[in-house]
């Protein structure tokens, strides 16, 4: 798949470890997902996906409960889901997903982050056609052969199964997210190292050292924005 998912998650977790930023963003994401349907993950699949992600990032139960209670109650904040696409140095490409209650504020902030860090905003569709929506689910304690066997037993179609460090990572179509998880749960697996619906690039680029540092500043600037939930890109970082 071009890069190790666990390494990506570890870098992100390390960056967010001493801040409440990641928890605040999950709070908004959980609220929005709960408002799309019933605030019950068993009947609201979008909410179930978000809650599974939250568990892998160790989001405190209090944050989750607060967002769900807000959705159940009189909370009537209106959020829009937005996607921005753009370019960084040396052929790098980015997709920025946001949840916002102020479109003008978010658009201005995202554009400024690109402009100040040697990037350029693109039009809708200018980048996303080079990425594939993908479900990524990881577990520990089993080999890739064991995972393939239990997925076959569950009649679950996936794209790839790879051993990455001490985990096995399954890459599948987004609509197979729950089927993969259910196959694992049937086999007694209840903890996941990663449970994401993401955008994976079809091809990666490696940047020269000076451009890599510049690109990392662009990523940091975008991820630091309050309304930005996810930033996807096609850069292969050096370990």
The per-residue pLDDT for range 44-77, each reduced to its tens digit, is: 999 999 999 999 888 999 999 999 999 988 667 8
Domain annotation for the chain: domains and CATH numbers:
5-72 (1.10.10), 80-129+202-233 (3.30.70.980), 131-201 (3.30.70.980)
Rounded mean pLDDT of 115-125? 95
Rounded mean pLDDT of 15-30? 79
| pLDDT above 80 for 147 | yes
**What does the chain come to in residues?**
239
Average pLDDT value for the chain: 89
Is 143 in contact with 168 (CB distance < 8 Å)?
yes
Q: Measured between alpha carbons, how far is 232 from 213 in angstroms, rounded to an integer? A: 17
Residue 237's pLDDT band (boundaries 50, 70, 90)? confident
Spatial CB neighbours of 34, under 8 Å, sequence gap ≥ 6: 44, 47, 67, 68, 71, 72
| pLDDT above 60 for 11 | no
The sign one gets for the Cα dihedral 178, 13, 215, 220 is: positive
Rounded mean pLDDT of 113-139? 95
Q: Measured between alpha carbons, how far is 16 from 34 in angstroms, rounded to an integer? A: 24
Query: For residue 125, how many other CB atoms are within 10 A of its CB?
Result: 9
pLDDT at 164: 84
Specify the 3-state DSSP secondary structure of 47. Answer: helix
pLDDT at 4: 59
* 167-172 vs 120-122, strand pairing mode: unpaired
Q: How many degrees, rounded to 5, is the angle at CA 173 between CA 169 and CA 176? A: 85
């Amino acid at each position: 798949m071009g890069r190790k998912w666990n390494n990506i998650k570890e870098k992100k977790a390390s960056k967010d470890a001493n801040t409440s930023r990641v928890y605040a963003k999950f709070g908004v994401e959980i609220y929005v997902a709960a408002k799309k349907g019933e605030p019950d993950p068993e009947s609201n699949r979008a909410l179930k996906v978000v809650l599974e992600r939250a568990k892998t990032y160790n989001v405190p139960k209090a944050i989750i409960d607060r967002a769900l209670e807000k959705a159940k109650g009189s909370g009537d904040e209106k959020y829009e889901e937005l996607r921005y696409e753009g370019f960084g140095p040396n052929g790098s490409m980015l997709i920025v997903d946001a949840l916002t209650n102020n479109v003008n504020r978010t658009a201005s902030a995202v554009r400024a982050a690109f402009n100040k860090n040697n990037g350029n905003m693109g039009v809708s569709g200018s980048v996303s056609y080079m990425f594939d929506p993908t479900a990524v689910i990881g577990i520990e304690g089993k080999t890739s052969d064991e995972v393939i066997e239990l997925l076959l037993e569950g009649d679950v179609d996936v794209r790839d199964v790879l051993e990455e460090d001490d985990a096995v990572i399954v890459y599948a179509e987004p609509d197979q997210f729950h089927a993969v998880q259910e196959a694992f749960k049937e086999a007694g697996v209840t903890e996941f190292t990663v449970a994401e619906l993401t955008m994976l690039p079809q091809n990666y680029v490696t940047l020269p050292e000076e451009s890599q540092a510049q690109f990392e500043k662009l990523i940091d600037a975008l991820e630091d924005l309050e309304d930005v939930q996810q930033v996807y890109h096609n850069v292969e970082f050096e370990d």
